[in-house]
Amino acid sequence: MARLLVRTALANLRSRPLQTVLVGLILAAASATLALAVSLRAGAADPYEKIARATNAADVHVVGRGDLAALAHAPGVKAAEGPFRLLGVRIRSRPTNYDIVVEGVGARPPRIDRPKLTDGRWLSGAPGELVLDRPTARRRGIHVGQRLAVLPRDPRTALTVVGIAVSAGRGPSWVSAGTLAALPPGNDPMGRVLELQLTDRGASRAFVDDVRRRYAPEQLNAYDWRDDRQEVTDRTSTSSVVLGSASLAALLAVGFIIANAIGGRILASRRDIGLLKAAGFTPGGVTALFVVENLVVAGAASLVGTAVGIALSPLLLEPTASLMGTATPSGLRAVTVAAGVLGVVAVVCLFTALPAWRAGRLGVLEAIALGRTSVSTKPSRAARVAVALRLPPAVVLGVKDAFANRSRAAMTIASLALTMGTVIMALGTEATYRRVIQDSSLRAKPYELMVDANDVSPAHTRSLLGAQSAKVAGTATVVGTTASVPGSPVDVWARALGGDYQRRPYAVRDGRMIAGPGEAIVGRGLLDALGLHVGDRLPLEADGARLDLRIVGRYVEPDNDGRTAIFDRRSVPPAALARFGPVQYELQLHRRSDAHAVQAALVRSSGGQMDVEVTEDGVRQERSDLRPVVYGTDAVLLAIGLVNLLTTLLLGIRERVRDFAIFKVVGLTPRQVLAAVTSGGTLLASIAVVAGIATGLPIFHALVTVTNPSDGPDLVTAPTWWWVVLMFPATLVFTTLASVLPARRAAAIRPAEALRYE
């Protein structure tokens, strides 16, 4: 029996070569997409765990100048590595200098918190070599082989990047102990770091608390893997949600595509099923035959598709890993292959067995009759509208035909709507970034440039800033510190403003901007954490001072989960204010001034001493980080949507060859047949665009709110209306492209042949 089934299945496949190839192509595309989606999901999920596994991460890091060696043998410690010297190093760069932390290690990478190289090689022991942490390399655009000049400038202390690596810790870079010793002493000595693994990882918090209790913070400090995880999660939360939802959308689309192709194929074969039963096949035999037939195609196609998916996966995995700061995972993994092959085979089995079983239960005559009438005979509302609009008969026919098989039409619309929804989300992301770039107050940075004076004296700084006065409209000063709320564990990032801060207010959404001392504006996160409202009092303790502030407004704050407070510096006693961090200068430029030109001028005039950041650069960087993933996913989903549309149209035509022959008999020209098929496809796609817009906008809103609870609701921006409108003609173009092949096949149907075998 098994042999008979296989022989009959192969004969069936050979008798319809084009259809077999087409279904094979669709399944291969589905497998490739599935492999890509699984890779993407694996790449996006739990980035900390991935880094931790790859680097044998430490459970606890202890940093400081105290006696670290004693802690290496503390109770509960399973393994220890180090201590290694740490040094803060200033790197000379354009347009502005930046700091990195280097760890002096041996010639072999440490066993605990072992950096995972993503590019280049490990330190050879030669002086001046640096393995740079990947997030810094990415942010600064640094590649292997590049030489970095260390400040204060000394040609002997240039560092050459020989490798780029990721680690689970707070991202130091690595040099040999000898290289570190040769670095200029003027740099910031941060002490040493000891990496510990505990016998019970869960006890790490208690270990950290114990260290903090026994040692003063300036002597020793400790933090554990949960802090690392929090940092990685904070850094990657937006990307994780974007990637996770993109891969989920791709998985859904694969389900649609298989259900459409295979389910449609069985529906179109009902007549054959009737004939097989007439020839003696039992209902179970019919089901088995179709399952075998489709499995042969699915098996071959899924192998090819998975191989293609794995080959393509670096295109998505590399930017993903780069975005997450993780090592690039290999696309060729058991889970990817299993998903690509077994996933597709399982879904094919399901979508073959169900309709084949149902069809196998039909009576022979009924099945033969249904073979020609598996299309819906209910009048289509869309067709009635098309008639009422006096559209040409060919278009009306196409509109009617689009819903000839309603379940398939629904699946096609759902698949395309999914694509359109993601396109809408991509447009929304663009619009949100554009708005934030145009209005920097939405990033809680109502200024164009932020200047860190570093070692430049206040008087000299004012003179340097004064030299740019023609371009600068106003200058505010800010000092920041971590404050606490009496009786609450909540830490608040407190900022005291001075100077022209009223000129360009923060983006206050509830209440108003501060008008003077004693008033504060706060982020949403702080209000939520403390259960406060605008108008309430906010007592703070900051650097030994008690501040009694009144909340007069809530502003949009993306950082520190919105647990922030901004107030006038005159609210703080001068002695306490001096203990706040160093003064930074917020420069508000005139409308036509070029921020990068002012940045370059300030860095130049300060001899490279000042750090000057252009506010919008960070947002632009974030946008360009996300773009490849968002658009790559859109492209994949768009391809799936178009393949689904193509499948629907082709299956519809195969199922209704006779009807198309009759259309031609009654006088439809080949061009009108083309128009009919294309207009049907266009209608499905147009409905999908409307559905995609209607669902994509609220989902985008929800996603932004979930990923950025503190500022998301205030930032989320709907796509520009004309981009949305443009989706209709764009859809028309894509639909026409997808319809060309099926339409040509329909137009090429020869009535004499189609109607001959009745």
Partner 1 sequence: MEQVLVTKGLERTYETDGIAVAALRGIDLVVAEGEFVSVMGPSGCGKSTLLHLLGGLDRPSAGEVHLGGRRVDELSETAWALLRRRQVGFVFQFFNLIANLTIADNIELPGLLAGLSPREARSRRRELLDDLGIGELAASVPSRVSGGQQQRVAIARALINRPALLLADEPTGNLDSQSSREVLGLLRRHHERGQTIVLVTHDARVASAADRVIHMRDGLISEETLLSGDRDPGALATQMLRLEV
* Residue 376 contacts partner 1 per CB under 8 A: yes
Shortest approach of partner 1 to residue 651 CB, angstroms?
15
* Residue 158 contacts partner 1 per CB under 8 A: no
Among 50, 400, 445, 495, binds partner 1 (CB under 8 A): 400
Shortest approach of partner 1 to residue 401 CB, angstroms?
7
**Phi/psi at 473 (nearest 5 deg)?**
-90, -30
Nearer to partner 1, 401 or 430 (CB): 401
Contact indicator for 32, 308 with CB cutoff of 8 Å: yes
* Residue 363 contacts partner 1 per CB under 8 A: no
The DSSP string of 171-191 is --EEEEHHHHHHS-TTSEEEE
Q: Which range touches partner 1 (CB under 8 A), out of 255-263, 580-588, 661-669, 733-741?
A: 661-669
Shortest approach of partner 1 to residue 758 CB, angstroms?
5
Nearer to partner 1, 400 or 495 (CB): 400
Among 106, 186, 379, 581, binds partner 1 (CB under 8 A): 379
Contact indicator for 565, 538 with CB cutoff of 8 Å: yes
Q: Which range touches partner 1 (CB under 8 A), out of 254-262, 277-285, 314-322, 392-400?
A: 392-400
Q: Which range touches partner 1 (CB under 8 A), out of 111-119, 285-293, 450-458, 748-756?
A: 748-756
**Phi/psi at 130 (nearest 5 deg)?**
-135, 135
Site for partner 1 in 402-441 (CB under 8 A): 404
Shortest approach of partner 1 to residue 407 CB, angstroms?
14
SS3 per-residue string spanning 307-324? HHHHHHHHHHHHHHHHHH
Contact indicator for 323, 236 with CB cutoff of 8 Å: yes
* Residue 746 contacts partner 1 per CB under 8 A: no
Nearer to partner 1, 395 or 636 (CB): 395
* Residue 272 contacts partner 1 per CB under 8 A: no
CB crowding 239-260: b at 16 or more within 10 Å, else e: bbbbbebbbebbbbbbbbbbbb
Shortest approach of partner 1 to residue 752 CB, angstroms?
4
Nearer to partner 1, 155 or 667 (CB): 667
Contact indicator for 518, 571 with CB cutoff of 8 Å: yes
SS3 per-residue string spanning 37-93? HHHHHHHHCCHHHHHHHHHCCCCEEEEECCCHHHHCCCCCEEEEEEEEEEEEEEEEC
Return the axis-axis angle of helices 2-15 and 283-324, rounded to nearest 10°.
Answer: 70
**Phi/psi at 714 (nearest 5 deg)?**
-85, -25
Shortest approach of partner 1 to residue 278 CB, angstroms?
18
Shortest approach of partner 1 to residue 410 CB, angstroms?
16
Q: Which range touches partner 1 (CB under 8 A), out of 284-292, 388-396, 500-508, 626-634?
A: 388-396
Q: Beta-carbon neighbour count of residue 126 at 10 Å?
A: 12
Among 659, 683, 708, 739, binds partner 1 (CB under 8 A): 659
Among 137, 664, 688, 689, binds partner 1 (CB under 8 A): 664
* Residue 17 contacts partner 1 per CB under 8 A: no
Nearer to partner 1, 592 or 756 (CB): 756
Residue 296 CA neighbour count, 13 Å, CB half: 17
User: CA-CA distances (angstroms) from residue 417 to 128, 399, 412?
Assistant: 55, 18, 8
* Residue 381 contacts partner 1 per CB under 8 A: no
Closest by alpha carbon to 194, among 101, 129, 110, 131? 110
Nearer to partner 1, 556 or 668 (CB): 668
Among 665, 702, 706, 725, binds partner 1 (CB under 8 A): 665
Shortest approach of partner 1 to residue 13 CB, angstroms?
20
* Residue 539 contacts partner 1 per CB under 8 A: no
Nearer to partner 1, 512 or 750 (CB): 750
* Residue 14 contacts partner 1 per CB under 8 A: no
* Residue 732 contacts partner 1 per CB under 8 A: no
Tokens of 621: 């960087």
Nearer to partner 1, 406 or 512 (CB): 406
CB crowding 436-461: b at 16 or more within 10 Å, else e: bbeebbbbbbbbbbbbbbbebeeeeb
* Residue 373 contacts partner 1 per CB under 8 A: yes
Count of residues in contact with partner 1, rule CB under 8 A: 35
Shortest approach of partner 1 to residue 384 CB, angstroms?
10
Q: Which range touches partner 1 (CB under 8 A), out of 195-203, 264-272, 503-511, 666-674?
A: 666-674
Cα 708 to Cα 561: distance, rounded to the nearest angstrom: 8
Neighbouring residues of 520: CB distance < 8 A, sequence distance ≥ 6: 514, 538, 549, 550, 551, 552, 565, 566, 567, 571
Among 327, 483, 668, 693, binds partner 1 (CB under 8 A): 668
Nearer to partner 1, 393 or 498 (CB): 393
* Residue 240 contacts partner 1 per CB under 8 A: no
Nearer to partner 1, 25 or 651 (CB): 651
Shortest approach of partner 1 to residue 369 CB, angstroms?
8
Nearer to partner 1, 178 or 393 (CB): 393
Shortest approach of partner 1 to residue 368 CB, angstroms?
12
Nearer to partner 1, 455 or 753 (CB): 753
Neighbouring residues of 20: CB distance < 8 A, sequence distance ≥ 6: 13, 14, 297
Among 300, 332, 387, 508, binds partner 1 (CB under 8 A): 387
Residue 358 buriedness (CB in 10 A; 0-12 / 13-18 / 19+): middle
Q: Which range touches partner 1 (CB under 8 A), out of 19-27, 327-335, 396-404, 562-570?
A: 396-404
Neighbouring residues of 318: CB distance < 8 A, sequence distance ≥ 6: 328
Shortest approach of partner 1 to residue 254 CB, angstroms?
29
Coil, helix or strand for 488?
coil
Among 259, 307, 375, 650, binds partner 1 (CB under 8 A): 375
What is the β-pairing status of strands 472-484 and 611-614?
Answer: unpaired
Among 42, 87, 321, 397, binds partner 1 (CB under 8 A): 397
Q: Which range touches partner 1 (CB under 8 A), out of 45-53, 372-380, 442-450, 547-555?
A: 372-380
Shortest approach of partner 1 to residue 393 CB, angstroms?
4
Q: Torsion-angle region of residue 499: left (phi > 0), alpha (psi -120 to 50) or beta?
A: left
* Residue 390 contacts partner 1 per CB under 8 A: yes
Shortest approach of partner 1 to residue 365 CB, angstroms?
14
Nearer to partner 1, 276 or 375 (CB): 375
Tokens of 688: 């999908």
Cα 737 to Cα 688: distance, rounded to the nearest angstrom: 16
Closest by alpha carbon to 359, among 369, 350, 351, 367? 367
Shortest approach of partner 1 to residue 740 CB, angstroms?
18
CB crowding 569-591: b at 16 or more within 10 Å, else e: bebbeeebbeebeebbbbbbbee
First vs last Cα of the chain: how many Å apart?
31
Closest by alpha carbon to 232, among 165, 100, 324? 324
Shortest approach of partner 1 to residue 750 CB, angstroms?
7
Cα 85 to Cα 447: distance, rounded to the nearest angstrom: 38
Helix (H) or strand (E) holding 496: strand 491-499
Neighbouring residues of 198: CB distance < 8 A, sequence distance ≥ 6: 59, 60, 76, 77, 78, 204, 207
Compute the C-alpha angle 151/152/154, nearest 5°.
95
* Residue 756 contacts partner 1 per CB under 8 A: yes
Q: Give the binding site for partner 1 (CB under 8 A).
A: 372-373, 375-377, 379-380, 387, 390, 393-394, 397, 400-401, 404, 658-659, 661-672, 750-752, 755-756, 758
